[in-house]
Structure 1
Amino acid sequence: MNADKRYQIFSRLQAENPNPETELEYNSPFELLIAVLLSAQATDVSVNKATRKLFPVANTPEAMLALGVDGVKEHIKTIGLFNTKAENVIKTCRMLIELHGSEVPQDRAALEKLPGVGRKTANVVLNTAFGQPTMAVDTHIFRVSNRTGIAPGKTVLDVEKKLLRHVPKPFLVDAHHWLILHGRYVCTARKPKCGSCPIEDLCDYKEKTEF
């Protein structure tokens, strides 16, 4: 995979979806942080169903803290690992109030100190809420990066570093969303839809399918 191919790949993804967005529903950096924290090992659809009821009741750290662990659990009990997630949400809200003036910090180190927030979650928040050129490598991005040859790597961190190095700068801020959506709907895990893929001729995957 050379630089010209990568440029063509992201040009086509951009042409298909000029303004890609996360499928998580949110109206503020705080809501996005909570939604991403809840999305670990859960689908965006299931998180959105829960937050549509949670955020109208509590969309600030103070309001969420007032709900308490049991109150948060009641709203997110349809999501996997909801007990642990509810506790992390409350601990995170307390830290946001005490250490960050109730604002979501805009740097990775501070974000990763929040309970339940790892590198991937921090990258999503930095990229989606604050427009920073970060790369949150989930299972979709890991698969697409390796399968296509855009940024092959044995670990999530390997892929993240290679993407940051190889994705052409004009596409870097939106690349995270394009790759996730491509992996979710086209370059799917069990059987990629190569026949209807806009970058099929640029992809290094050898076992291409017809559909």
Structure 2
Amino acid sequence: MPKPPFSNITQKLGNLLNICKDMCRKGYNCYYIKEKENDKGSQEDVRCHIKNKINIKRNEEKAEKGETLDQMEKLLLDLTQGKYKAEKHYVYTIDGYRLNLYRIVNNNSENIINDKVVQKERINEQVFEEDKKEVFCLNHGLFESSINYTCKGYNSLTFQIFSNNHDVWISNNRGNNFTQYVGKNIAINKLRENYTEEDLRDLGLNIKSDQIEKEMRKKKKKKKKKKKR
């Protein structure tokens, strides 16, 4: 009886198998992916909650020390000698994940040497930044992250696109070091901050009327002050 294809899967995978095993041992935040078990209130939910608390404390300690940059931000500053930086944004998903989204921008920091040549370069870079052509969003492959698009420095795909005057963004998929399960409640609240649940009726009857009343009160106060004078 002939052997089924890929029966010797270990030989077919070769070095890739060892890499996969290594990633499984390290774990990262892979167990956060078990969202169905989290919804059932299993032990994984407790572990996620405890780990989130620990991460929040670590972030607060780093913020107090001024160490708020992550690996992606540090790498880009090191590779470009501080000329460019990764501007970090957060994207929240409905099922409770926070994904890091990075935009490549010029690092117009205040700590610049007072030199006319340097100042001219900075002005040109600001004009260059405003006149971007199109937006490019790069998304990594399996077992990768946003670092894969920047690790080669100026030879990487990110800077090749950026040098052609494009607005470059790099996203991250759940499961790597730049994503975190924060819980559905937190994610939904963050999403609601960006959108309003009010309709046009609420806008016309409530919000606008409140604004008009406030303006009328200010006018009345001004009239009273004039009469006193």
TM-score if structure 2 supplies the norm length? 0.23
Structure whose residues are more often strand by fraction:
2
